[in-house]
Structure 1
Amino acid sequence: MKQEKANITVDLNRCPQNHPCPSVNICPTGALYQNGFDAPAADMEQCIGCGKCVRYCPMGAISLG
């Protein structure tokens, strides 16, 4: 049985993009990353779909699908 990869989406209207993203440090595989204060992005090859980033985002800007 083939496992389908997760997909992380960041809602730019909810993400303030003015500070280090707290969800980046909670990612157990380092799949979520941030350049400067830009919105976080994800390396989907490393993402295991655990959802920790979604639960940890204080703005509710990250979703996993």
Structure 2
Amino acid sequence: MLMALAHARGPGKSFCPSEAARRLSDDWRPLMADIRRVAAGLPLAATQKGVPVAPVQARGPIRLQLEQGTD
């Protein structure tokens, strides 16, 4: 689902991982740790305030997008 969201947005566009969690459950907040863990294993770049971060270690909101060269 994360890759589908990233491809739907397209190169250079980001999305919040909570978008994926909200599609899975109305009670989406408990899913966020798993969403970030899965994102870490995919060809997605994670940023926080425009700075690259590791999705699992980052605290607070992050954005995900396709890594450069992934289309």
Relative to the length of structure 1, the TM-score reads 0.31
Relative to the length of structure 2, the TM-score reads 0.30
